[in-house]
Amino acid sequence: MDNFLKINKKINSVVKYEAGLSKLADKKKIIKLSSNENSFGASFKVKKILSKLDNKVFRYPDPQGTKLKKAISKKYKVNKNNIICGNGSDEILATIAKIFSGPGDEILFSEYGFLMYPIASQLAGAKGIKVKDINYRNSLKNFTKAITKKTKIIFIANPNNPTGTYLNNKELKDFVSKLPKRILLVIDSAYAEYVNRKDYSSGFDFVKKNKNVIMTRTFSKIYGLAGLRLGWAYCPKYIVDIFNKVRLPFNINLAAIEAGVAALSDNKFYLKSVKHNSYYLEWLKKEIINLGLIPIPSVANFILVKFPGKGKFTAKNVNNYLLSKGIILRGVEAYGLKDFLRISIGKKNELASLIKFLKIYFKKK
């Protein structure tokens, strides 16, 4: 059937985001290690507060998310007036791209960067430019070379998804000091809570000292609220004001606000999640190496694994085998990484099952 309505040209060029599998038609029980979610789920405090919302959901939420901003401010020791909240950090990334770029402009991001960056660029009508990595790390040298008069925004995930690698504080500090003030740097720190490195900085100091840097965060990972879609950003006050002009009036819902506040208050659950991830990140890396595979060094809650490019043990063949066993990993061909699979850090028994089946598969000659 012909479409008689004229569609905005920039919409036609947008590449649809393909999320990882969440279920299998022929499997009732699955092990989902594909979306970097917190394997513990949400904290008890979150579940408790959500169970009490039945007599509140008919009311509109606070359009400013005041309660949530105060909780974020307290947890991370930042000024609440420099916080914006969104329907996941995805909304914030897309809105920022629309605010600060448009047709004829360029937005830079890593060749192996989060797939929302090119989508946000396309929605803004800007041209997305992929910058070459070095050893699966963001190359700030290559980012500097890629800057032109048309460059308006640079997206850098730290740690990066799907590679799990990170930039240290000195590297970013040097880069920011030389970055033209007309260019906005967006530091996407979705996995910051998992990083256990003394030389790592999530970005707070860079925002405090510069007018052209913002840092985005999410409640989808360590806080276990992926299903509620909640993200936030720390940024200069003038960006807060502009963002609040263009965002939708009620962009964060009541359940997300209440759950976010509860999640931030549960430090015991937070520390439990960090400890579990730190231990099993190292455990999984060693098991992968013992299988003769190559893990990319990760500081997040997942590991990107390289498989042989030919023969029986390719990423595609291994992935299909694991799917037949009810185990879902994340294929990353859309990132240009066809010989790789990304594995989220799951529960102890989930990871044990994964390794058990991988050992069985790789022993078959």
Supply φ then ψ for residue 150, to 5 degrees: -90, -10
Q: What is the pLDDT of residue 24?
A: 62
Q: What is the pLDDT of residue 363?
A: 86
Q: What is the pLDDT of residue 309?
A: 87
- Read off the pTM: 0.93
Cross-strand pairs, 9: none
Length of the chain: 365
The number of CA neighbours under 13 Å toward the Cβ of 209 is: 8
Spatial separation of the C-alpha atoms in residues 53 and 352, rounded to whole Å: 37
Q: What is the pLDDT of residue 20?
A: 62
Whether residue 278 contacts residue 113, with contact meaning beta carbons closer than 8 Å, is answered with: no
Beta-carbon contacts of 91 under 8 Å, excluding residues fewer than 6 positions away, are 229, 231, 247, 251
Beta-carbon contacts of 208 under 8 Å, excluding residues fewer than 6 positions away, are none
Whether residue 337 contacts residue 112, with contact meaning beta carbons closer than 8 Å, is answered with: yes
Regions of the chain where pLDDT drops below 50: 1, 365
Six token digits for residue 185: 């740097």
Q: What is the pLDDT of residue 341?
A: 98
Strands laid side by side in the 294-296 sheet: 294-296, 302-306, 340-344, 330-331
By three-state DSSP, how is residue 301 classified?
coil
The number of CA neighbours under 13 Å toward the Cβ of 96 is: 34
Greatest distance between any 2 Cα atoms in the chain: 62
Q: What is the pLDDT of residue 19?
A: 63
Q: Which contiguous run of DSSP H or E holds residue 98?
A: helix 88-100
Q: Tell me how far apart the terminal alpha carbons of the chain are, to the nearest angstrom.
A: 51
- At 318, which amino acid appears? V
Asked whether the bond before 297 is cis by omega within 30 degrees of 0, the reply is no
Q: What is the pLDDT of residue 365?
A: 44
The structural domains of the chain, ordered by start, are 15-42+268-363 (3.90.1150.10), 44-265 (3.40.640.10)
CA torsion, points 85, 86, 90, 96, in degrees to nearest 10? Answer: -70
Q: What is the pLDDT of residue 21?
A: 62
